[in-house]
Amino acid sequence: MPPIKNLTKWMLLHYADVVILLLAAAATCFLVINEPSVSPTGENPNVKCKGDEGVIASPGPLKIAEVEDSAGIDITIPKSFDGDGILTATARMNVAESAKLAPGARLATSNTDLIRQTDGVSLPEGQVASSAQVGRGGRTVTLTVCVAPRYGEVSEFGPYSGAASLDDPRAMGGNVPVVIHVKYPYMNRVGLAALFAAYAGLIWARLVRRGDQGLRADSDQSQWSLLVVSVAAGIACLFSVDKLVWDPKDWQGSSSEYLDLVVAACGAVIAAVPTLQALMSHIGKADSGT
């Protein structure tokens, strides 16, 4: 059967391309199968922040106290957040001067809208709650912010900012800046885009090399060296993904961000391949003693 023999012969002569295709196919299948499940199944943040007790009236006479503002609260919702949990963060504030609050008292709080900085979208009101409690000595107040970004609906991804503050006649002040980073969870889609970009960049670099040096441009390199160049170019692509997506907190997965990712990853591969090919050619010549 000549067609099968010809195919077998081609595969033996171009095993680097075969291995690359198999690796790309395996990576694609893995990324498609491992699509994260993101659904509105979260818990009500009020359950953890305030519970059923609400605001507890403190015993004895209540004093109006000035509470110093806190540096702020920063909460990052991780990519792996499964939607069934509530994340919390606290800020500790001091009661100013000689004033004192009733130890252990629960103080009423309020939250402003948490607005996404890029387009003005608000985090759903029911996904954020806050509470405050006076310390044992009556000289400190701990303000707690609870976030459940899957409660009721799946919130948009990205950075949100607002404030939580004391809203109680027993205390004045106590305004805490709040920043919520809801990280983009669909990293398999990011991986697919980067894989497509890397493969496209590799093909383009090979075509340019052949167009510049002739159809037999790859004949001066062994198949194993082509395989090494391809894998190394893929690693260069990963650095682009790291800087654009994995490192920043506030990647939102918009079409423009995906376009930037594809262009950067493809460009990284195209830039890396000529240098790697030249390096491998010198190594090959040194090993052959020429």
Residue 75 lies in a domain: yes
* C-alpha span between 2 and 23 (Å, rounded): 27
**Which range among 6-10, 35-39, 45-49, 114-118 shows the weakest confidence by mean pLDDT?**
6-10
Are 219 and 247 members of one domain?
yes
Q: How many CA atoms are closer than 13 Å to the CA of 222, on its beta-carbon side?
A: 10
pLDDT digits (tens, 9 = 90+) for 211-238: 555 545 454 456 666 667 777 777 767 7
Residue where a domain terminates, one of 126, 161, 182: 182
Which domain covers residue 101, as residue numbers? Answer: 45-182
74 contacts: CB under 8 Å, gap ≥ 6: 89, 178, 179, 181
Q: Please state the rounded mean pLDDT for residues 123-152.
A: 89
pTM over 0.75: no
Per-residue confidence (pLDDT) for residue 52, from 0 to 100: 47
Are 131 and 166 members of one domain?
yes
What CATH code is carried by the domain that includes residue 171? 2.60.40.10
**Domains of the chain: total:** 2
**SS3 assignment, position 157:** coil
Residue 40 lies in a domain: no
Are 124 and 54 members of one domain?
yes
Are 107 and 8 members of one domain?
no
* C-alpha span between 57 and 115 (Å, rounded): 32
Are 176 and 59 members of one domain?
yes
pLDDT digits (tens, 9 = 90+) for 167-196: 888 888 888 999 998 888 888 888 888 888
